[in-house]
């Protein structure tokens, strides 16, 4: 079946540190891959996406590259800010369906 695995949190970084949140997936076919962010008390917001191998999604300084050979979609940011503190969810949407499969989420705390 389809599944998403993320690195366990919480992740605590100092402001301006480099961020990597690992995400790997298992899926049949060619899924689309997503990162969603959830700020405290809010719903999910789409952060970035990639729909095919070697695509790079980017937004607000965050990047992730669709790596089919390693079935990964790691999230990176060169310099985090306090305002980036949130929970980050990696997700996939199977090529043959509509429903998302979410990873467990990684909580990021950025300290000033």
Partner 1 sequence: GAVVSQHPSRVICKSGTSVKIECRSLDFQATTMFWYRQFPKQSLMLMATSNEGSKATYEQGVEKDKFLINHASLTLSTLTVTSAHPEDSSFYICSVAGTDQLYGYTFGSGTRLTVV
Residue 103 sits in the site that holds partner 1 (CB under 8 A): yes
Nearest residue to 101 (alpha-carbon basis) of 4, 12, 1: 4
Residue 7 sits in the site that holds partner 1 (CB under 8 A): no
Q: What is the DSSP letter of 78?
A: S
Of 64, 73, 105, 110, the one binding partner 1 (CB under 8 A) is 105
Q: Which residues ranging from 19 to 58 are in contact with partner 1 (CB under 8 A)?
A: 32, 34, 36, 41-46, 49, 51
What is the nearest approach in angstroms of partner 1 to the Cβ of residue 48? Answer: 9
Which residues contact residue 3 at a Cβ distance below 8 angstroms, ignoring those fewer than 6 apart? 25, 26, 27, 101
The tokens for 73 are 């979609």
Residue 105 or residue 108: which is nearer to partner 1 going by CB? 105
Residues in the interface with partner 1 (CB under 8 A) total 21
What is the nearest approach in angstroms of partner 1 to the Cβ of residue 111? Answer: 20
Which residues contact residue 112 at a Cβ distance below 8 angstroms, ignoring those fewer than 6 apart? 15, 82
Which residue pairs from 53-60 have beta carbons closer than 8 angstroms and sit at least 24 positions apart in sequence? 57/33
Residue 77 sits in the site that holds partner 1 (CB under 8 A): no
Q: Which residues bind partner 1 (CB under 8 A)?
A: 32, 34, 36, 41-46, 49, 51, 89, 93, 98-100, 102-105, 107
């Amino acid at each position: 079946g389809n599944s998403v695995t993320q690195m366990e949190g919480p992740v605590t970084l100092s402001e301006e540190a480099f961020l990597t949140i690992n995400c790997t997936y298992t899926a049949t076919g060619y899924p689309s891959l997503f990162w969603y962010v959830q700020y405290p008390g809010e719903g999910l917001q789409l952060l970035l996406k990639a729909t095919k191998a070697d695509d790079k999604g980017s937004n607000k300084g965050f990047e992730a590259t669709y790596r089919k050979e390693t079935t990964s979609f790691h999230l990176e940011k060169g310099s985090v800010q306090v305002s980036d503190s949130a929970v980050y969810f990696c997700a996939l949407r199977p090529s043959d369906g509509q429903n998302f499969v979410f990873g467990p989420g990684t909580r990021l705390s950025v300290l000033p």
